[in-house]
Amino acid sequence: MQPKYLRSGEFGAAGHLSPKALRLYAEQGLLRPASVDPATGYRYYSPDQLPRARLIARLRRIGLPLARIGQLADLGPEARAIELRGWLHSQRALLEERAALVETMRWYGEEAALVDAVALREVPATKVLCRSRHVDTAGLDGLIQTAGHDIRGHLRTSGLADGGATLVHFQDLVTPDSEGLVEVAVQYDGNVDPTDDLYIRLVPAHTEAYLPVPAGYEDFPLVLRVYDAVEAWTDARPGVTCVDHPYEIHPGTDALFDVAYPVST
């Protein structure tokens, strides 16, 4: 005769879940006890909950986050299989990107040709019209294009020229699986009012160490070698220190864009 309830230890053993996992999943609403003794606080589960417990254990084993597990556990088998195949495809793509990033580490600070091409230049103070967003590498190009289009459109609507170079300031690390705050800014002369999410900022005069990005290095992860080269160049020169976040300048100096760091000298 099947028991009406199983104690939490019995249920966890049968469902391949530890006591800690059972408590966590109960708190998260993924697998609540069928009954709780009000006097002792003992938790009891129904044998009918074992298939869900084993499914949750299996999904957790392959590395799915709890929020995703809750969604998948409520789906039917066919819908769940479709979702899992999509997740697996994205994980494979992410692993390939990470593998490429690991390969770039072999060259960290050691590409002499890139390091030798770094130079200094003086940058006058300028006004910029900006938009900021949190994005990962997949959303970066879209942000640059859309923000640049909207900013230049607002400048034209305000009776000004299209503006000068586009500056892309990276205030956080941006990777395939990590969003960072990125500011897209367009240099301009004249007077313009901010609108919606576009804001005005003054970039003070400064010195920058810069490197035009060679052809073939424009995309992630190879573009990281360009950043590494500028950092290696500044690290090797006494009195030259990076003092703020890096940025890209579109278009660059005979290149699609330049990578630059503001520095003190």
Per-residue model confidence as pLDDT tens digits over 35-61 = 998 888 889 999 999 999 999 988 988
Q: Greater confidence, 2 or 65?
A: 65
In which band, very low, low, confident or very high, does the pLDDT at 103 lie, cut at 50, 70 and 90? low
Structure tokens at 229: 């080269």
- Residue-level pLDDT at 200: 97
Fold classification of 112-264 (topology level): Multidrug-efflux Transporter 1 Regulator Bmrr; Chain A (3.20.80)
Task: Tell me the mean pLDDT in the region 119-139.
Answer: 94
Domain spans, the chain = 6-74, 112-264
In angstroms, rounded to a whole number, what is the distance separating the alpha carbons of residues 105 and 48?
Answer: 51
Q: Is 109 helix (H, G, I), strand (E, B) or coil?
A: coil
pLDDT beyond 90 at 89: no
In angstroms, rounded to a whole number, what is the distance separating the alpha carbons of residues 233 and 116?
Answer: 8
Which residue, 163, 80, 104, is CA-closest to 129? 163
Percentage of the chain exceeding pLDDT 90: 52
CATH of domain 6-74: 1.10.1660.10
pTM above 0.75, yes or no: no
In angstroms, rounded to a whole number, what is the distance separating the alpha carbons of residues 69 and 65?
Answer: 6
169-226 pLDDT, tens per residue?
999 888 777 789 999 999 999 999 999 999 999 999 999 999 999 999 998 778 888 9
In which band, very low, low, confident or very high, does the pLDDT at 2 lie, cut at 50, 70 and 90? low
- Residue-level pLDDT at 118: 95
Residue 224 contacts by C-beta under 8 Å, 6 or more apart in sequence?
101, 104
Exposure pattern of 159-168 as b/e (b: 16+ CB <10 Å)? ebeebebbbb
Helix (H) or strand (E) holding 241: strand 241-242
Residue 141: φ, ψ to 5°: -60, -40
- Residue-level pLDDT at 112: 80
Q: Beta strands of 124-205 (E only): which ranges?
A: 126-135, 166-170, 180-188, 199-203
> Same fold for the domain at 6-74 and the one at 112-264?
no
Task: Lowest mean pLDDT of 44-48, 128-132, 141-145, 221-225, name the range.
Answer: 221-225
